[in-house]
Each structure stands twice: as structure tokens, then as C-alpha cells.
Amino acid sequence: MAEAAPTPDSSATISAAHDATVRGFASDNYAGVHPAVLAALSIANGGHQVAYGEDAYTERLAERIRALFGERTETYPVFNGTGANVVGLQALTDRWGAVICAATAHINVDEGGAPERIGHTKLHQVDAPDGKLTPALIDQQAYGFDDEHRAMPQVVSLTQSTELGTLYTPAEIRAIADHAHSLGMSVHMDGSRIANATAALGVPVREFTTDAGVDVLSFGGTKTGAMGAEAVLILNPDRVRHLKHIRKLSMQLASKMRFISAQLEALLEGDRWLELADHANAMAQRLATGVEELPGVELLHPVQANGVFARLDQEVSRRLMKRFRFYFWDEAAGDVRWMCSWDTTEADIDAFLAALTDELGGVGA
């Protein structure tokens, strides 16, 4: 007679190692996991499922993604945003290829050189004051296609919403995609905060992705409430080669993929991803409105998603950081970034504004 499987010890628990009442504005990655995502993981945990993506949850996720982005869309879940970008960019470039991006783009500033070191993809950066590329800005780097001394521009990479919290309109993306395609280049979109962009624009997500000419999308879930789940979406299969092999080679193929797919599926269920993003955006607007009334604080960019960028006295920021975590964006200039999350509350915003007001009163003291 076969021995029964061991029964989990429900009494085995760990104690909390953090104060759950502490709030921060450094990153939307600071937030916890949405309860629906935790519930989905528990449901997916029962029994056995085929590994490496041949499971029922990954298949169901692909159906949901196709309903959002179009029937030709191919879905490849991965572990994280860096992996999604590196895998997606590799699928669009040759060994001698290069990617044009804004100087502030995450792939250029915050990926630790992964696109170049792991993806072997040269980045041609362009200064974009509001974080947004245009056809004219792209042309600053879109040259030398037949020059063997220069990495060949093959991809334009956009970030939506941008690293400065601004948004591309569908028309702006279409103009960029048409221009890039006319030059023989493909279009990649870093969508780590695509939920925030979709909620803010108030249009179907395919309107500024598939229908606007984006070829490959890094679809973010972690910042919207997942534990750790992203996906590479192939919106135009005609421009992509061997992505499943690239994903494996880049160490982004999950053996127990059902647990990544279930997280994304839970976010997409009933438009939960948009509701959570809309809430985060609304909290950023509440913060921006409160900041506008404070002397000594200057908003740097339009607040269009869930990030607020401001300039204030460095000493005020350093004192405030002891009460709420956040980052300097440019410490020399006094620029800071405040991010709102799916679980940020109005009380969090009001407490932060009160603390900021208090610290501003101590300038020069």
C-alpha cells in the first residue's frame, strides 16, 4: 500500500518581522500583495500541474491576455521586470543591434546594465526632459544603419507610464511606431506600470499598444499588487524570433509557472488591475494637490499616474525620510520622488502632508 503524502503542519508559523503600520512612498514595490493574489496562489497550490508553462493557469492567462490585446498575442510569464525587458529586447535585436531609449528609461538607469551585459544590447540614449520620446528625438540616434563601426539601431523602447510619471497618448505612440517601422525598427514598451497608464488614459489597453503599433510589451504585475509576476507579450509575432528559447537562456523560465500565471490572472479578474491602479493614481493626485499648497515645494512634472516628483530643501527631505521612506531623484538639485501604491490610503497621504508641513516649518532652524 502506498504511503500517504505528508500532511502540512498548520501550527508551523513565523512571527512578523516588521511593523505593518509603517508606510512609505519610496516605491510601489514597498506595498504588500493584494489578498486576491494570495488567494489565487492558494487555489493554484492544490495537486500537481505540468511544469514550465503547460499548466491550466498559464493557458487561462493567455486567453485573458488575448482578449485584452488581440488574438495574435503570445504570453510568456517571467519572474521580474528586468527579466521581461531583457528577454523582450533580445527577441527584437541581432547581436549587432541597439535600442534607442530615453536617458531616464529604466532599462538605461535602473537595470544594473542587464540589457547590455545579459542581453548584449547596446543602448542609444536620448535626453527627453519629460521622459517621453518623439520621432524627432528618436532621429538623434536613428542613423548609421549600415555603419559597421556603430551598433545598428533596431528597436525603439518606450516606457508607459514613463520614469517621470508622464504618459504617452495613443496618438503619440502611433506616431513613434509608424516612424520606427518606416526606418526598419521595432517598438518595445516597458509596461511595469501599464495598469496605471491604462487607468489614467481611460481607454482600452490595446488602443495604445497593439493598435498603436507596439511589437513587444513588458506587462507589469508586481507594482500593481502581485507577489512577483510579469510577462513578455508578443503583440506582433512577425517581428519576433525564438522567444521561448531566449526566455530559458535568460534564466526567466519558471518551472512552477502556474504560480506566476495565477497572480496575473487574479489581477486581471474583473478589471481588478485597473481598479487598483486607479486608486494609486488618485492617491498621487491627492498628494500633488496637497503639495501645491505648501511654500518651499515645487512640482517638477505633471502628475499623470502614481508618481509625484518635487523639488525642496535637501535637509527637509532628509528629516522627512526618517518618518517616511522615499528617494532622492537628484540629490544635488533637491529633487525627490514620491510613489503611491495600490494600498496607499487617504490617511497615509494626509499623515505625510502633515509631516512635510511640519518639517518645512523647521527650515533654517
Whole-angstrom Cα Rg for the chain: 22
Asked whether 176 and 156 are in contact (CB, 8 A), the reply is yes
CA distance 346 to 261: 31
Pairing assessment for the beta strands 327-330 and 335-339 based on DSSP bridges = antiparallel
Domain-by-domain residue ranges, the chain? 35-270, 272-360
CA distance 308 to 291: 10
What pLDDT does residue 363 have? 56
* Range 272-360: architecture per CATH: Alpha-Beta Complex (3.90)
Instruction: For 260-288, write each residue's pLDDT tens digit.
Output: 999 999 999 999 999 999 999 999 999 99
Asked whether 109 and 141 are in contact (CB, 8 A), the reply is no
What is the edge-to-edge ordering of all strands in the sheet holding 298-299?
Answer: 298-299, 307-311, 335-339, 327-330
Asked whether 200 and 239 are in contact (CB, 8 A), the reply is no
Pairing assessment for the beta strands 152-159 and 186-191 based on DSSP bridges = parallel
What pLDDT does residue 7 have? 61
Instruction: For 314-347, write each residue's pLDDT tens digit.
Output: 999 999 999 999 999 999 999 999 999 999 999 9
pTM over 0.75? The answer is yes
DSSP-assigned beta bridge partners for residue 191: 219
Asked whether 44 and 259 are in contact (CB, 8 A), the reply is yes
The answer on pLDDT for 356 being more than 60 is yes
Choose among 106, 107, 138, 137: nearest CA to 122: 107
Pairing assessment for the beta strands 307-311 and 327-330 based on DSSP bridges = unpaired
* Range 35-270: architecture per CATH: 3-Layer(aba) Sandwich (3.40)
Question: Which grid coordinates belong to 239?
Answer: 517581428
Instruction: For 167-197, write each residue's pLDDT tens digit.
Output: 999 999 999 999 999 999 999 999 999 999 9
Cis geometry, peptide bond prior to residue 161 (ω within 30 degrees of 0): yes
The answer on pLDDT for 364 being more than 60 is no
CA distance 153 to 172: 20
